[in-house]
Amino acid sequence: MKTEFDRESPSVPGTGPTGGSPSHIRYRVLALTVLAYMITYMDRVVISVAVPSIQKEFGFSIVTMGWILSSFQWGYALFQIPSGWLGDRIGSRRALTFIVTLWSLFTSCVTLAWNAVSMAVIQFLFGMGESGAFPIATSSLSCWMLPAERGFAQGLTHAGSRLGGALTPALAVLVIARYGWRAGFLCCASLGLIWAGVWFWYYRNTPAEHHSVNAGERNLIQSELEKCGRRKSKTVPWRQILHSRQMWILSGMYFCYAYVLAVYLYWFPKYLNARRGFDLKQMGFYSSILLLSGTCGDVLGGSLSDFLAKRTGDLKISRRIMGMGGFLISAVCLVVAALARNPYLSVSFSCASIFGLELTVGVSWAITLDIGENFAGSVSSVMNTCGNIGGAIASALSAYLVMLSGWNAPFLVMAGLSVLGALLYLRINASRRIGAPVA
């Protein structure tokens, strides 16, 4: 027996693939996902703002704080694949609700730390909890977004994360100044718990399960996914994923991306202070400008890739153009930024560099949808594992490069990796699914 949610709307000629003006519930789902990405970066960045207060209270050295911060990255990297598998196995609705609740609880537990070891362990557990955020969120969109909207969707979600990171320092400083550093973590944890409740209430794993999706939108999504031959199997094809040459090329490219991004996230403020002579106020301002430049790149890269795919009908070329172009812009601007004598010129080219770098990220995650389909959570988790290993290496290696060769060295290494990322994009074919025979 059909319920009231199963009955299809009357057909309206000329609208939707089978009649009926499509609703736009998929964009509400996308908006919720963008908020999740914002919260992930707010939770990550709040500790960097709280570092001076934490050091003052516990007497931690810079080296000790470095190990505490890196413990998050290792927990985040090591649990990417298990978390992606969980999302594909039990569905994004339950999986994302669970992991956002989990990491929010661990965020609040930072306030209970009593020494360096306890704080490092909590940060590791926080990284473990947050590890599933991007892979599962990517998987959650695989059944909802049209193939032609994937680049835009991934660009927008990553723009949300960078925007959250850019806004957090100013907001966190106000909270910490008034209520202490623990209040900042409790505020972020509360946002995560509220989001998890809303997600579980509103999101459904497929449009067919959502009572607000009308027949027009349901049929539109279904027909577009069928055009690209979406697979029905629920068993994650790990053998095909791990034996895919393209999977490892994609992962190598993302290693390059995440390495460069990590240096910007964790070392750029220190670079502005130590190498360019900016005071703390200027350092915070220009660090925020840097992330806002990246936000623009996130939105533009995915959207342009989708536009090119529509115009040319060639998904492979449209993804490659944006990926290669973004990496090459990043490489050239990194060299100029490192060698420029004028500090403001250096900052300007650094902003242009991260803009170019972020042109690639929405495209890269769209490719995990293109080649992974309903196993996009698992595919993206492999890619993101390799990326975050790169980020973890970057955090430590950059310090040694500065100590041995000065501040130009880490940025020139970043430029070299950007060139390598562009070359790897030449080998990525977004139109060939994981497991498909090579032509």
In this prediction, residues 177-205 reach a mean pLDDT of: 87
Residue 430 covered by a domain: no
Average pLDDT, the chain: 81
Q: What's the pLDDT at 350?
A: 95
pLDDT for 307 beyond 80: yes
* pLDDT band (50, 70, 90) for residue 229: low
- Among 31-35, 66-70, 185-189, name the one with the lowest average pLDDT: 66-70
Measured CA distances, 288 to 109, 167, 298 (Å): 27, 7, 15
Full-model pTM: 0.75
Determine the Cα–Cα distance for residues 96 and 90; give it in Å rounded to an integer.
Answer: 10
Buried b (16+ CB within 10 A) or exposed e, 318-342: bbbbbbbbbbbbbbbbbbbbbebee
Sequence-separated (6 or more) residues with CB below 8 Å from residue 289: 347, 351
20 is a domain residue = no
Residue 6: predicted pLDDT: 39
Task: Flag whether pLDDT at 300 surpasses 90.
Answer: no
* Mean per-residue pLDDT, 315-337: 93
What integer pLDDT is reported at residue 249 of this predicted model?
A: 94
pLDDT-based confidence at 398, cuts 50/70/90? confident
Q: Given pLDDT bands bounded at 50, 70 and 90, which one contains residue 228?
A: low
Share of the chain above pLDDT 70, in %: 88
DSSP string, 291-345: HHHHHHHHHHHHHHHHHHHHHHS-HHHHHHHHHHHHHHHHHHHHHHHHH-SSHHH
pLDDT mean over 332-360: 94
pLDDT of residue 56: 79
Q: Does residue 18 have a pLDDT over 50? A: no
Mean pLDDT within 59-71: 75
Domain that holds residue 209: 25-425
pLDDT for 194: 94
pLDDT band at 9 (very low <50, low <70, confident <90, very high): very low
Residue 195 in any domain: the answer is: yes
Q: Is 7 contained in some domain? A: no
Which residue did the predictor score with more confidence, 235 or 73?
73
Q: Does residue 1 lie within any of the structural domains?
A: no
- Residue 108 inside a domain? The answer is yes
Q: Structurally, how many domains does the chain consist of?
A: 1
pLDDT band for position 76 (cuts 50, 70, 90) = confident
Tens digits of per-residue pLDDT, 89-146?
Answer: 788 888 889 988 988 888 888 888 888 899 889 889 888 888 878 778 877 877 887 7
Which span out of 8-12, 50-54, 344-348 was modeled with the highest average pLDDT? 344-348
| Confidence at 163, pLDDT banded by 50, 70, 90 | confident
Query: Within a domain: residue 5?
Result: no
* Model confidence pLDDT, tens digit, residues 373-392: 667 767 877 898 899 888 88
Is the model's pLDDT at 186 over the cut of 80?
yes
* Band of residue 3 on the pLDDT scale cut at 50, 70, 90: very low
| Alpha carbons 47 and 383: distance in angstroms, whole number | 26
Q: Can you tell me which residue has the tokens 């959250």?
A: 164
Whether residue 324 is predicted with pLDDT greater than 90 in this model: the reply is yes
Mean pLDDT within 264-282: 78
What pLDDT, on a 0 to 100 scale, did the predictor assign at position 7? 36
The answer, yes or no, to whether residue 183 has pLDDT greater than 80, is yes
Beta carbons within 8 Å of 59's beta carbon, 6+ residues apart? none
Residue 13 lies in a domain: no
Rounded average pLDDT over 157-165: 80
User: What CATH number has the domain bearing residue 62?
Assistant: 1.20.1250.20
